[in-house]
């Protein structure tokens, strides 16, 4: 559906050259809700703007629905761009036009008759839940309602792809969820392919099936959301996920937990992550029956991602070193990811960090 290959985008300013995007390749399939996550300045907007060539790449190829966009004539490119809708953080509505006027405007070069355009606008407003706001001006709408207008407008020409650049970043958490629900709905109802840019992994967790993590112009990790959430490889991905799953907060609190302050030398602190079925197995009790290793659960959380439960436990394992090792091997053989942690003091502050990595996870 969308294939970006070896994309570079370089900006030349008077004083320096900026490599905003460096050798990025991603493939987005029809029906995907593909998330691109990264901190501000990572190159997300620049990358996504290459999908409709609002930003021409310095190098690389952009293929959308089988067409190599860089080879198209300006007129053909205009036609292809109509199949790609876009919404923005600050909505970009025209304040002098009503809600319906804003959506109408997107149909200005459509071949539909006036009557058909009116029907189309009414249909779109219904679809985004704003049927009663037809004649209202944007200044009278809440942020969430404004974004709904933005969505209705972006769908006016029946696009196959919707690009969302920080579309929920100006909204409160509850409104964010309602907009994400709407996007998920549109994805299902219209088989709309959606690309979501965000700096919040929570947004990815909520709706995306695929994710790419960007840092300094490059994609440092990508894959399906369930695998990335259960077994993130890159430290930046781990950081985003720990924030989204509240593990970082838990570790901070646990650093002061009495059971960690009174550990035996042989005890192991570990984070256990698991997907789906392994949550049903009474794994923890079998560690005791099989290996005489007792498990003290300090923290637990289960997230449901696309109907797949993903669990995270922070535990202390107690037993002899060899019993514990056997227990860890057993857990791994049951598809549990085991990350050993240690309790250390940095700058007189107690922290729980990955073993042998003097860095907070
Ligand atoms: N038109 C431009 N001219 C010069 N530099 C730009 C331009 N657009 C973006 N940049 C720079 O490219 C980098 C990536 O920006 P951007 O794609 O907006 O990141 P993000 O969307 O992840 O915050 C930043 O360093 C930004 O300052
Ligand atoms: Mg941006």
Query: What ligand 1 atom has the least distance to the C-alpha of 39?
Result: 22
CA distance 262 to 257: 9
Q: Can you give the pLDDT at residue 357?
A: 53
Pairing of β 210-215 and β 33-37: parallel
Q: Is the dihedral of CA 270, 276, 277, 279 positive or negative?
A: positive
Which helix (H) or strand (E) segment holds residue 154: the answer is helix 143-154
As a whole number, mean pLDDT of residues 307-324 equals 90
Percentage of the chain surpassing pLDDT 70? 97
DSSP structure class, residue 317 = E
Query: What ligand 1 atom has the least distance to the C-alpha of 199?
Result: 22
* Residue among 329, 334, 321, 323 nearest 283 (CA): 334
As a whole number, mean pLDDT of residues 328-357 equals 82
Q: Please give the C-alpha separations between residue 130 and each of 1, 12, 100, 217, 297, in angstroms, as whole numbers.
A: 30, 43, 10, 38, 47
**For 89-117, how does the pLDDT look when each residue is reduced to its tens digit (9 = 90+)?**
999 999 999 999 999 999 998 999 999 99
Ligand nearest to the CA of 49: 1
Burial of 346 (0-12, 13-18, 19+ CB in 10 A): exposed
To test the pocket of ligand 1, the residue of 16, 18, 200 to mutate (highest count of ligand atoms within 8 Å of its CB) is 18
Flag whether pLDDT at 315 surpasses 50.
yes
Burial of 226 (0-12, 13-18, 19+ CB in 10 A): middle
Ligand nearest to the CA of 20: 1
* Domains in the chain, CATH or no CATH each: 2-224 (3.40.50.300), 245-354 (3.30.70.260)
Ligand nearest to the CA of 89: 2
3-state secondary structure of 277: helix
Higher-confidence position of 52 and 266: 52
> 132 CA distance to ligand 1 centroid (A)?
38
* Residue among 324, 339, 100 nearest 230 (CA): 339
């Amino acid at each position: 559906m969308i294939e970006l290959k070896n994309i570079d985008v370089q900006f030349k300013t008077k004083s320096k050259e900026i490599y905003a995007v460096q050798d990025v390749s991603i493939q987005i399939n029809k029906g995907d809700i593909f998330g691109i996550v990264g901190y501000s300045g990572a190159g997300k907007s620049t990358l996504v703007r290459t999908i409709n060539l609002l930003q021409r790449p310095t190098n690389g190829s952009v293929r959308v629905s089988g067409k190599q966009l860089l080879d198209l004539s300006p007129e053909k490119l205009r036609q292809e761009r109509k199949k790609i809708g876009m919404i923005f953080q600050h909505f970009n509505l025209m304040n002098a036009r009503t809600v319906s006027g804003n959506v109408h405007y997107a149909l200005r070069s459509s071949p539909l008759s006036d009557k058909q355009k009116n029907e189309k606008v009414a249909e779109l407003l219904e679809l985004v839940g704003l049927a009663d706001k037809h004649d209202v001006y944007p200044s009278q709408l809440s942020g969430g309602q404004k974004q709904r207008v933005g969505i209705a407008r972006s769908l006016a020409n029946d696009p196959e792809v919707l690009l969302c650049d920080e579309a929920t970043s100006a909204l409160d958490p509850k409104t964010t969820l309602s907009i994400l629900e709407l996007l998920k709905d549109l994805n299902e109802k219209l088989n709309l392919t959606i690309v979501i840019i965000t700096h919040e992994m929570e947004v990815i967790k909520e709706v995306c099936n695929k994710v790419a993590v960007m840092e300094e112009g490059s994609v440092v990790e990508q894959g399906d959301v369930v695998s990335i959430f259960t077994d993130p490889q890159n430290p930046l991905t781990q950081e985003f996920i720990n924030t989204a799953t509240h593990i970082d907060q838990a570790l901070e609190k646990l650093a002061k937990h009495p059971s960690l302050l009174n550990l035996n030398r042989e005890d192991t602190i570990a984070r256990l992550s698991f997907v789906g079925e392994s949550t049903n197995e009474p794994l923890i009790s079998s560690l005791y029956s099989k290996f005489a290793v007792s498990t003290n659960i300090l923290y637990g959380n289960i997230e449901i991602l696309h109907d797949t439960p993903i669990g995270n436990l922070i535990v202390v394992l107690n037993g002899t070193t060899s019993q514990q090792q056997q227990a860890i091997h057993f857990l791994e053989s049951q598809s549990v990811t085991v990350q050993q942690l240690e309790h250390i003091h940095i700058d007189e502050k107690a922290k729980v960090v990955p073993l042998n990595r003097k860095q907070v996870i």
